Each structure stands twice: as C-alpha cells, then as structure tokens.
Structure 1
C-alpha cells in the first residue's frame, strides 16, 4: 500500500485489526511517512470513538513517555496523551486478561482524581493541583500494537499511547499533605525488587504532567472533566507481565498494589 492511499480511517482499521487479532505490526509511519502528530491524534480520537460506540465510557486520560529516560529509550522527544475507558479498568486483585493482549508490560503510576473540571490553555502545576480531589497509586498495563514496542511519536499517539488496562489502588490521599516529587515507589516482579523511583521521574513533578495534559487537550478544544482520573506516566521503565510472575508496586504513602496473569 502506498503512502498516498493511507487515511485516518485506514489507520484506525489497521490498529483495530492488530489489537483484535493480537498481531503486532510494523509502525504505521513506515507505510505512511507523512503521518504527523495532529493527524495521529485524529486516529487516536477515532479509535476511542469506536470503543465508545461499542458501549465503553471515557473515564479519564493517561500520559505517556513523561520521563526523559523512557523518551530516550523509545526514541521520541516529547510526552503524549491518550484516553482511558471503563473497558480498560481492572478491579484490584483481578487477573489481567492477557488473551486480548500482544506483549503486555506494566509500569507504576501516580494517579489523580479530579474534583473539578480542568481546562487549558495556561494551566500551571499549581492550578492543576488545585483541581485534584485525591491521589492514588496505580499500575498500568501497556500493550503496543507495534512489534517490539518500536515506534515514532505519531505512531504511538495514533495507537492511543499503548493503552490496554489499568488498576487504581484503593488508598485515596489528599494531595495537600504530600510532596509528590518525593513520593517513592518500589517495583518488584515475583517478589524481587527490579526498580525504584520517585514522583520526580514524571516531568520533575506529577503536577507538571497534569498541567501538560490539560494544555495539550486544550489545543484540540477539549478539557479534563470532573471525576476523571489521570494516569500521570510511568515512574519506572515498564516490565513484562508474564504468567506466574506478579508485578507489585509499593508506594511510600499511597499503599501497594499488584497485577497478575495466568
């Protein structure tokens, strides 16, 4: 297929097919080198619209590639946003449904729940935090539709930021009493510590990621709504999720949570 035959609808079809058949594909930009960031967000929007048409409901937003280390490893140079739906939610203690996934990985996140609408442009970290009702721990299961998690920034934006599933801990903390830049997390796999980080790994402070999300959405005439959750981005590198090897995250003040799969 030549580049000039590619459209937003075609890209949506290709990504949905990769997801439904659990078949990783090469980056879309190899077929469509003219795919720019604005068009990639159109693809993302149509992908999520298809989920909503199928009965799912938007419950929030996620940020991806918020740490400089992850940007360097993935070969991209900026964070991105994606959508969360209720079809992606995992109950605490539930097994990840790997029969729908290609090559799942897990990363720990600081999660915000919004107490009021947050609309850009011009949102600062301080004004972003003023809109937060509570802070929780989270684990996100990501699952790129691209082979070996290899992509450019437009590719991963089109793929809804590698969204798959996520779980939010049941400990809800008032952000006023926390220094989230110092909030520590220990990540373990099958009981062995594999990484540690603090909230500073997320754009220097998770509030900056939240402000970035609000301002990024404003460029498309959108806002973060009251009651939505925001996954602020992986604090550590993502680790593979494999049967019999549970992934757990223990936070200093936000509790602990775990995901497993059969």
Structure 2
C-alpha cells in the first residue's frame, strides 16, 4: 500500500470524525488493510487533528480483554493516541452529538513520572515509572459503520478512540495488587458490568509494558507526564443521551460521566 493511499484513508477517517458520519470498513476492500498499513493510516488521521490544533497527551491500549475481543471479534491488542481534545474530567457532561456510536469502558489510567522506552520494558519497570493510577472511562467511538470492524479497521481509526474521562482520585500503585482490583460499573443506577484488573492482558502494568515495547519497535517512547489508558476491564457499554455512568475500582477510586 502506498503512502498516498495511507493519506487518502486517513483523510477519509478525519472527515468522518469531523462530520460525525460513519464510513464502510476498510477491511472490506479487495486488498484488505494489513496492520502495518493501518498504523500508517492512523498516523495520518492523528496528524490531521494535530494540524487542527490538538496536542498528544498520552496513549491508549485497546482490545486487551477477552470479553471485548469476543464482542468485536478482534484477537489482539492495539494502541492509539490520546489527544488534548479528547479529555474530560469526572462528572463533566459529554454532548452525545459530538460522537457517532459511543460505548463506555471502565479502565485503570497510568500517570507516568518517567519515560518508558522499549524493548525490554517489564511490569516492574512500568510500576517504577508510574507516579499514580486512577479510575477512568474511555468512551470508544468507531468511525466505521455499525462497529463492523476487523483489526485493521480499528487500528486505522486510532484504536476506535472517542474521548476519555479521568477520575479525581489517584493513588500510588506500589501497595496495590492491580490484577485483583475489582471494578463495578453502573448505568442509570443499575449494575451493568463488573471486572478485575487482570482482564487487561493479565495485569494492567503488563498491558502498559506491551505498549512500551510495541512502540519501542517504532522508535517511539512513552513520556513522563503522559497518561496511558490500560484497557477495558469489562464489556463495552452502549450509551445514549440522558445516560449517567458511575464506576468504582477497589483501592483506586471512582469516576462518573453524563451524556446530554
């Protein structure tokens, strides 16, 4: 696949994002969309948003839990870029009209105090480089119509990143068993999902290590000051106007969001 086609597909995703209009999956093309090419498309899509005034503030890891892999029929993790325009604080309202087909994920966010440069990054290195962890919502939002995605589609679409909501509470990870931390997620006062930290590739810090090592192969570090979303701990929850979500992660804290 040529750089010209990478740019063309990236521009298509950018227009879909700007116009809030979903598009057909790229994987349905005769030649499909190999992962290496999909990341090139993602880079162009992200570059268009940066040209429009956003900045990179972190990274996200997607498709880390089996329940999400089963739901999307995608069998390996991927990563995307967090941009300044995606960030909301806990309790803030999100206008549903700014999204296309949103779904919510409860996750553990890592706040880095040191750079992480792969290869060779381990769970222990991730924990040592982490200032604190907190509860967060990622609101994933595919630009691909009806979420009819394969791995190349979601990779190209910046790992289906929509926006994210960071909780106010942060704690040092040293005293926590992050794999055992239990998450509960309520929608409009009713329990709709539960999970534990181990859902994210066995341990959330292992997920961050996977990201650091994968990016290291591309010569890209995770930087001090960045936030890393380590992956969903339960199934994706569809949301609509009027929905209110609250989640809590044992030992870490909570997060809430409302859609208007």
TM-score (norm 1): 0.95
User: For structure 2, which runs of at least 5 residues remain unmatched after alignment?
Assistant: none
> Is the partner of 1:133 in helix, strand or coil?
strand
Contact 1:241 1:260 in 2 (8 A): no
> Is the partner of 1:258 in helix, strand or coil?
strand
CA-to-aligned-CA distance 1:25-67 (integer Å, 9 cap, x gap):
2211212524211111111111111111111110100000001
Q: Kindly report the root-mean-square deviation, in angstroms, between the aligned alpha carbons of the 2 structures.
A: 1.6
Contact 1:19 1:100 in 2 (8 A): no
Counterpart in the other structure of 2:246 = 248
Moved more, 38-47 or 90-99: 90-99
Moved over 6 A (4+): 3-6
Counterpart in the other structure of 2:226 = 228
User: For structure 1, which runs of at least 5 residues remain unmatched after alignment?
Assistant: none
- Paired residues in the alignment total 260
Counterpart in the other structure of 1:209 = 207
Q: Report deviation, 1:92.
A: 2.0
> Is the partner of 1:35 in helix, strand or coil?
coil
Q: Report deviation, 1:6.
A: 7.5
CA distance in 2, matches of 1:4, 1:224: 28
> Is the partner of 1:76 in helix, strand or coil?
coil
Contact 1:199 1:205 in 2 (8 A): yes
Which of 178, 182, 185 matches 1:184?
Answer: 182
Contact 2:92 2:258 in 1 (8 A): yes
Q: Report deviation, 1:98.
A: 1.9
Matched, 1:102 2:130: no
Contact 1:62 1:81 in 2 (8 A): yes
> Is the partner of 1:230 in helix, strand or coil?
strand
CA distance in 2, matches of 1:85, 1:121: 24
CA distance in 2, matches of 1:258, 1:34: 38
